[in-house]
Chains A and B, each alone.
Chain A
Amino acid sequence: MPDDILLKVDGLQKRYGDFEALREITFDVGRGELVCIVGPSGCGKTTLLKTIAGLLPATSGTIELDGASVTGPHPRMAIVFQEYGRSLMPWMTVRGNVELPLRHKLSKAERHAKANAALEAVGLGDAANKYPWQLSGGMQQRVAIARAIAYDPEILIMDEPFAAVDAQTRADLEDVVRDVWEKFGVTVLFVTHDIDESVYLGQRVIVLSMSPTVVQEDLVVDLPDQRDQLNTRALPRFTELRTHVYEQIQLAKQRAGKAA
């Protein structure tokens, strides 16, 4: 378990009326960690993230960031949404989008510098004056990542950010996340339904059960820190880990089947 805990989720429960989406979620994320959350589809991954991000109220349980309770959107958290096409503003240029959240806290020159650095980091240094709709889906999601990074968050929360892009773009974007994580020293909480992605990206993988959701397993990914698409995925340990996570998720589905 991490020594320097940044995010603490404790006994989180979320009900929608009679429907219990999340039963009891408890885990910690250490400062500077990259943690993936993976679970079968329909297990409430998005609900969990939105609750952690303060966009949805929890029914019970607590979320703490740096020891302080999170009850609403938090200035030290930034979210990358799954639907990049809808989370970027089509009436603003790439630069306008990246600078939008900085307007009320930075001067124009500071915003400019932050946006440039963030766009540079995601490989979009020369697209600042384009509109999002002039870019491909993968590039749009890079803009959303740049916007979140420029916001200078303590923790970056990503909700299945690459679910809607093709496989090759997805591999590129996974490496962008690793790069940005290393370069900016930000903590990353990354939700995905893709088992390979979770093992490739994460230092830890948290496996969720089916709804009503609990943490089924909290797994340390003991792969080398230097990861790349060819070699890391070819490691025997990678295969072992992904097989293990896969089995856990199958188990979760079977249990849910029996309970139903």
Chain B
Amino acid sequence: MSVSETRLIKLPPKKTRFPKWLRLPLEWFALPILIVAAWTLISTIAPNPRFPAPAQIGQSFATNWLNDTFFSDVLPSLGRLGLSIVLAILIGVGLGVLVGSNRWLRELLEPIFEFFRAIPPPMIVPLLIMVIGGGDGMKIFVITLGSMWPILLNTIEGVRAVDSVQKETARSFQLTGPERLTFITLPSASPQIMAGIRQALSVALILMVISEMVLASSGLGYRIEVFKQNYEYAAMWSIIVLLGLIGVLLAVLFQIAERIVLNWYRGLKEAERA
């Protein structure tokens, strides 16, 4: 077949019903819009005070959160959440590298880790209140403690799984300890570490709310307790919406971080599949 003949063959243009710039927002928002519409319809046909109409929830969202309470309740909660996640990552990765690269330490500590990991962190809240009080320290402690486990255990596994040839390469070229950590151990374990952090984020969000439900004077967990006592259904629903939005925000931030940290890993996996 000559070149001119091949030119005759044209691929049919892809049929798209929506312009390209509309496709992503549609994928994201089509289903939520549909659900809100259905909910609105049902709440108009059969009103129920426990399930207020989306418009009411939206209104409550605006009056409850888009004012001073954002600074007095939402931001402190987010601050504790953020600080706890950072602490959980630092402790989890730090301890994980230490334990993962030391067989003796691993055998010594793993049974204890299993024991502590099995304890649901909310269970220790009452005890902690007695010991260190119900302040920020207790909340940060509980969130950090609970969300640290997936990071710690994943890091240990990741560090253990560093390739033996990579280790020998590092040894034969006499890399220093800090070089081995920065350029071999941590990057090699980063896929597992990131998987641990992903799990930790959802655990942290749960523990943020729970730690504020007991003995707190501010925060989202405290607010939902107050709303419950006053039968403010729309407000309770608005807090659920708010938590959902925080969850989405965390997921987006995590994806951006993952894209940067694990760029090489995605490429490697794609190359292996090809």
Contact = CB atoms under 8 A, between A and B. Distances in A.
Interface of A: 50, 53-55, 73, 75, 77-79, 81, 83, 86-87, 89-92, 100-101, 103-104, 131, 133-134, 147, 151
Contact of B171 (A55, A75, A89, A91): A55
B166 A101 contact: no
Contacts of A75: 174
A77 B168 CA distance: 13
B188 interface: yes
Nearest to A105: B174
B165 A87 contact: yes
Given A91-B188, A100-B173, A104-B175, A81 B271 contact: no
Contacts of B188: 89, 91
A81 B173 contact: no
B71 to A, nearest CB: 41
Q: Closest 4 interchain pairs by CB?
A: A101-B173, A86-B165, A91-B187, A133-B271
Max chain B Cβ within 10 angstroms of own Cβ: one of A77, A78, A103: A103
Contacts of A104: 174-176, 179
B268 A103 contact: no
A92 B179 contact: no
Interface size class of B (residues with CB under 8 A): 20 to 34
A240 to B, nearest CB: 37
Contacts of B12: none
Given A79-B172, A100-B183, A90 B268 contact: yes
Given A133-B268, A133-B271, A89 B184 contact: yes
A73 B167 CA distance: 12
B190 interface: yes
Given A104-B179, A134-B267, A89 B187 contact: yes
Given A81-B165, A100-B183, A90 B264 contact: yes
Nearest to B182: A103
B255 interface: no
Contacts of A54: 172
Contacts of A77: 172
A147 B169 CA distance: 11
Contacts of B173: 73, 78, 100-101, 147, 151
Contacts of A101: 173-175
Max chain B Cβ within 10 angstroms of own Cβ: one of A73, A79, A90, A92: A90
Interface of B is mostly: helix
Contacts of B70: none
A147 B173 CA distance: 10
Interface in B242-274: 264-265, 267-268, 271-272
B163 interface: yes
A180 to B, nearest CB: 17
B169 A87 contact: yes
Interface in B173-200: 173-176, 179, 183-184, 187-188, 190
Contact of B179 (A53, A91, A103): A103
Nearest to B264: A91
Contacts of A78: 172-173
Given A89-B184, A90-B264, 4 more contacts: A81-B169, A87-B169, A89-B188, A134-B267
A86 to B, nearest CB: 4
A147 B183 CA distance: 15
Contacts of A50: 168
Nearest to A81: B165
A89 B176 CA distance: 16
A83 B174 CA distance: 19
A133 B173 CA distance: 22
A249 to B, nearest CB: 27
A79 B173 CA distance: 8
Interface in B122-169: 163-166, 168-169
Nearest to B190: A91
Contact of B265 (A79, A91, A103): A91
20 contacts: A55-B172, A73-B174, A81-B168, A83-B165, A87-B169, A89-B166, A90-B264, A91-B190, A91-B265, A92-B187, A100-B173, A100-B179, A101-B173, A103-B179, A104-B174, A104-B176, A131-B268, A133-B267, A133-B268, A134-B267
A104 B174 CA distance: 9
A75 to B, nearest CB: 6
